Amino acid sequence: MAIAPVQAGETEQHLLRCAVLGDSSARLGCFDALSKQAEKADTSAPAVVSTGTGSVAAAAPVDVLAIAPKPAARVMTPDTPISRMSQEWELNDAAKRGRYAVHQLSDNYLLLANQSNATNDRPFRALLPAGYKSKHAELTYQLSFKAKLLEGVANTPIDIWAGYTQKSFWQAYARSESSPFRETNYQPEVMAVLPINKQLGPVNLRFASIGFIHQSNGQSATLSRSWNRFYGQMGLESGNLGVTARIWKRLDNAKSNNDNADITDFLGNGDVRITYRDKGFEYSAMLRRNFDTGNGAVQAGFAFPLAVNLKGYAQLFSGYGQSLIDYNYAQKSLGLGVLMDF
């Protein structure tokens, strides 16, 4: 509770006027009146008043303190419940967490066993002993997060975010070969997000965004895989269903020293991600396709609750580009593990 002093000079003058009154009744009435004024102003003014008939010495000045009213607490009362997509991208005032608060970007999971029908050893043949074959079962994990860097850019609703995703394929069960990491992909990105909240029939268009992605496997020479792209994205919701759709444009298509100049022939020019959540269960799908070549991929996921922010997770993948080193290699895989939800 804030405390602020009343004007000291004015208070002292009132007290002196009361103190110099010769008549005790008048003097008492003066102090009573001053006390009532202080009460009306929500102040406390302790003072010693003499009611004797003799002469009274001038009263010492008394500091009167005013008790400032406590400001009312600000209560957020959104018109509608905060949706999952609004929370993830802070799309309305009730969901705002300010800059640098960490959010999930893509799924964060650990597949303790990711069983492929055929691992891709072709890029490594020149580096491995003759006859070497990778294990079909790998430990696979993905870490993905984002944070807001700028909020309300140039007095607009647009926010600037930065994100990072890392996905690794670890031959953890190839102990005789020192359990090497077969592939790791690194993906930093930056995006500008515009909240929309536009009802389109049964769905709500929550946001639109544009962004830039660099993706690389951090290798050199014949193992190098990387590409840069701009993308446009929109997010839609309907109840427990969330859909994001992206289209992208590659920036470095046909360099002579590019080891994956044809990557869009296999990974396409965009993707669609669908998530349905109900009572702690989560069903998800990712679809991408190049309609000219007919190549693409499908990924499906199912998660069920185990503990707070932790779910059991199953993932099925079929198609091209499960990792960058496999961008032109088709395979099917089934993984089991856990998904972290935050």
CATH of the domain at 172: 2.40.230.10
Based on the structure, what is the number of domains in the chain?
1
Report pLDDT for 252: 77
User: Is 256 annotated as contributing to ligand binding?
Assistant: no
Q: Is 333 annotated as a binding residue?
A: no
How far apart, in whole angstroms, are the C-alpha atoms of residue 266 and residue 315?
21
Question: For tokens 């951090």, what's the residue?
Answer: 218
User: How do 65-67 and 3-5 pair as beta strands?
Assistant: antiparallel
pLDDT for the residue numbered 45: 45
CA 134/CA 179 separation, integer angstroms? 10
Tell me what pLDDT residue 82 has. 84
| pTM, rounded to two decimals | 0.75
Tell whether 50 is covered by a domain. no
Q: What is the mean pLDDT of residues 179-202?
A: 97
Whether 18 is covered by a domain: the verdict is: no
What is the pLDDT at residue 314?
Answer: 99
Provide the percentage of residues in the chain whose pLDDT is more than 70: 75
**Mean pLDDT over the full length of the chain:** 85
| Residues with active-site annotation | 214, 216
Q: Does the pLDDT value for residue 85 go beyond 60?
A: yes
Q: Which domain does 152 fall in, by range?
A: 84-340
Residue 61, in any domain of the structure? no
Band (pLDDT 50/70/90 cuts) for residue 13 is: low
pLDDT, position 14: 57
**pLDDT of 35 above 90:** no
196 found inside a domain: yes
- 26 occurs within a structural domain: no
Flag whether pLDDT at 133 surpasses 60.
yes
What is the secondary structure of 201-243 as a DSSP string? TTEEEEEEEEEEEEEE----GGG--EEEEEEEEEEEEETTEEE
**Rounded CA separation 118/286 (Å):** 21
Q: Is residue 43 part of a domain?
A: no
Predicted pLDDT of residue 47: 47
> Residue 130's pLDDT is what?
78
Within a domain: 56: no
Highest mean pLDDT among 38-42, 190-194, 258-262: 190-194
